C-alpha cells in the first residue's frame, strides 16, 4: 500500500469499491480504479495540502477531503483513465507528518456520519497520534 496510514475503515471502503467496480466493469475496470485510488493516496502523501484538497472543520478539526477527480489526469494513460470518479478521500495529517486516510466515500455520502472511530477528536485531545 502507498506511504501513509490507511485506517481499517478506509481499507474496507477500498475493498468494497473495488469489488463493486469488478462486478460492474470487470477486472480491467477494477485494475484501472485501483491504480487511480493509489495515485490519489500517493498524491496526498506527497503533498497533503495539494490543489483540490479542502479543510473540513465542520466535520473534525484536522479533517480534509480530496475528491479523486483531482488526480484523474495523473494516472498513466497506459493504465486507462476514469472519466467521472465519484469518491472522496477523508484524511488528516498526523503529528508525525504522515497522512492518515480515514475513509474513502462516495461523493453523495454524508462524510460527517461516516467518520472512523477517533477521527473526530480535536487535535491536542489525543486524536492525532
Class of domain 5-110: alpha beta
Q: What is the pLDDT of residue 73?
A: 62
Question: Which residue, 113, 21, 82, is CA-closest to 102?
Answer: 113
Q: Which three cell numbers stand for residue 1?
A: 500500500
Phi, psi of 119 (to 5 degrees): -70, -30
**So what's the pLDDT on residue 81?**
65
- How would you write the pLDDT of the chain (129 residues) with one tens digit per residue? 445 689 999 999 999 999 999 999 999 989 888 988 998 999 999 999 999 999 988 887 888 999 988 776 666 666 666 667 788 999 998 888 889 999 999 767 666 666 666 666 544 333 444
Q: Give the contacts of 48 (CB within 8 A, at least 6 positions apart).
A: 64, 91, 93, 99
Q: What is the pLDDT of residue 61?
A: 81
Specify the length of the chain in residues: 129
CA distances from 66 to 6, 40, 107, 112, 114 (A): 15, 8, 10, 15, 15
Query: How many C-beta neighbours within 10 Å does residue 24 have?
Result: 10
Amino acid at each position: 500500500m502507498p506511504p501513509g496510514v490507511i485506517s481499517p475503515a478506509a481499507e474496507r471502503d477500498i475493498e468494497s469499491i473495488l469489488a463493486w467496480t469488478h462486478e460492474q466493469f470487470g477486472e480491467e475496470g477494477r485494475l484501472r480504479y485501483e491504480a487511480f485510488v493509489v495515485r490519489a493516496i500517493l498524491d496526498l502523501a506527497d503533498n497533503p495540502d495539494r490543489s483540490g484538497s479542502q479543510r473540513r472543520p465542520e466535520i473534525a478539526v484536522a479533517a480534509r477531503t480530496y475528491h479523486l477527480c483531482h488526480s484523474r489526469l495523473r494516472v498513466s494513460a497506459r493504465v486507462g483513465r476514469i472519466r467521472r470518479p465519484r469518491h472522496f478521500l477523508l484524511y488528516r495529517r498526523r503529528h508525525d507528518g504522515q497522512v492518515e486516510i480515514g475513509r474513502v466515500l462516495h461523493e453523495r455520502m454524508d462524510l460527517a456520519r461516516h467518520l472512523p472511530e477517533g477521527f473526530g477528536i480535536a487535535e491536542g485531545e489525543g486524536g492525532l497520534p
